[in-house]
Amino acid sequence: MPTESASCSTARQAKQKRKSHSLSIRRTNSSEQERTGLPRDMLEGQDSKLPSSVRSTLLELFGQIEREFENLYIENLESSHSTSQLSQKLKTTYKASTSKIVSSFKTTTSRAACQLVKEYIGHRDGIWDVSVARTQPVVLGTASADHTALLWSIEMGKCLVKYAGHVGSASGDQTAHIWRYAVQLPTPQPVADTSQISGEDEVECSDKDEPDLDGDVSSDCPTIRVPLTSLKSHQGVVIAADWLVGGKQAVTASWDRTANLYDVETSELVHSLTGHDQELTHCCTHPTQRLVVTSSRDTTFRLWDFRDPSIHSVNVFQGHTDTVTSAVFTVGDNVVSGSDDRTVKVWDLKNMRSPIATIRTDSAINRINVCVGQKIIALPHDNRQVRLFDMSGVRLARLPRSSRQGHRRMVCCSAWSEDHPVCNLFTCGFDRQAIGWNINIPALLQEK
């Protein structure tokens, strides 16, 4: 029985509490006259020493304060309920929108068919640069941190010539070398047909998936150790070099903050291009005119004009917020620049104030290259990806990368070979390999 009595007492207390709470709510919803009358009857005492007029005024003021607190309390309750509903609605909408966005990313189809054709494996360290010969025979060239440069048969993937004349990489010995090669291309074999893979397909791979690249496939090919000409005017690492149109002059870019223009036949320095505030990262020459563009860690790139033999002018392009890793000429009067600020910008040489197109990405961009005929920019990234965009900034594809194919380290450079029937794009990276790709752009997109 004591237990039952205690239980009944607890039930009565809870019921009384609910009743008192109900009374409080009813008071809140009652008229102002009822609300002011109740506290007056309850609060008026017989032992008050205050005059009745003063006491009445105080009670009226206390009643007003009580009403203000009640209204505020009700508003807070309603606001809390509405906020909770709104918060839940926002969460639901956010989840639905996010799912829709992610789904759209996954289902987006590539605008270009991208197929890996050949891997060129033979360097013993990261590959800084890749290029394709502009004259016959058309061969692939790679420059590596292992102090060597290799020439490859594009079709066979076989090393044809090794150059081992440098004592530094890219080149850390502060010189640029000109050397002559004579190769006999092997008879090409049919390339094994593999299924085309959309540029959007991707499977993450770990470092343990990297194949063993220690085998030196270049050990059997002829080795050149002495240059035809050595260009020696720089006081820092030579990071890039290119031929000026006509082939009689060459330009080099260095970490000593200068670019040098040389006469190839005499090895003499023709011009020292000064003005950059920090180390240079790249240089590029125009395919048909005597124009040079240099890029630098000072966030700028500069256009040097040598078309008038008596004077050379320079224009400075300021549009990036971090190192400009490369700037290259393309169709018409356009230059495309890439940067560590994760953007690529297309510029009109006639208007340097602002770019005509900007591409924003999720990773720093290294040495870009433009397919002039199809107007496609190949973007090699720090995050192992390679993406393709058109000149207006529309994304066309992402090259396939998985545990079985693609780059497994930072991609350093890209190079197009527009006339090659099989491999028309090459990339290289710190995974010590170069890769040849077949990129097929639909004719409809090319017309656009």
What is residue 111's predicted lDDT score, i.e. its pLDDT?
A: 77
If residue 117 lies in a helix (H) or strand (E), which one and from where to where? strand 113-121
- Burial level of 39, CB count in 10 A (0-12/13-18/19+)? middle
Torsion of CA 9, 10, 15, 16, to 10 degrees: 70
Distance from C-alpha of 329 to C-alpha of 229, rounded to nearest angstrom: 27
What is residue 129's predicted lDDT score, i.e. its pLDDT?
A: 96
From residue 3, alpha-carbon distances to 6, 14, 15, 221, 234 in Å are 5, 17, 18, 100, 99
Residue type, 153: S
- Burial level of 70, CB count in 10 A (0-12/13-18/19+)? middle
- Give the residue extent of every domain in the chain: 113-447
Q: For residue 428, what are its two tokens? A: 């290289």
What is residue 29's predicted lDDT score, i.e. its pLDDT?
A: 44
What is residue 169's predicted lDDT score, i.e. its pLDDT?
A: 67
Supply the DSSP symbol for 399: -
- H helices of 30-127, in order, are 32-43, 52-107
Pairing mode, strands 159-163 and 223-224:
parallel
Strands (E), 153-193: 159-163, 176-178
Q: Is 384 in a helix, a strand, or coil?
A: coil
What is residue 92's predicted lDDT score, i.e. its pLDDT?
A: 57
Distance from C-alpha of 389 to C-alpha of 111, rounded to nearest angstrom: 10
What is residue 85's predicted lDDT score, i.e. its pLDDT?
A: 60
Third-level CATH fold of 113-447: Methylamine Dehydrogenase; Chain H (2.130.10)
Distance from C-alpha of 165 to C-alpha of 180, rounded to nearest angstrom: 12
What is residue 320's predicted lDDT score, i.e. its pLDDT?
A: 97
What is residue 205's predicted lDDT score, i.e. its pLDDT?
A: 42
Distance from C-alpha of 408 to C-alpha of 431, rounded to nearest angstrom: 6
Q: For residue 157, what are its two tokens? A: 């993937």
From residue 384, alpha-carbon distances to 9, 70, 365, 393 in Å are 74, 63, 10, 20
What is residue 364's predicted lDDT score, i.e. its pLDDT?
A: 97
What is residue 27's predicted lDDT score, i.e. its pLDDT?
A: 42
What is residue 81's predicted lDDT score, i.e. its pLDDT?
A: 59
What are the average pLDDT values for consecutive 10-residue runs of the chain, which has 448 residues? Answer: 46 49 43 45 59 81 82 74 57 50 45 92 96 90 95 94 85 90 69 40 43 58 93 94 94 97 95 96 95 97 90 89 97 92 94 91 97 93 97 95 92 94 95 96 58
If residue 444 lies in a helix (H) or strand (E), which one and from where to where? helix 443-447
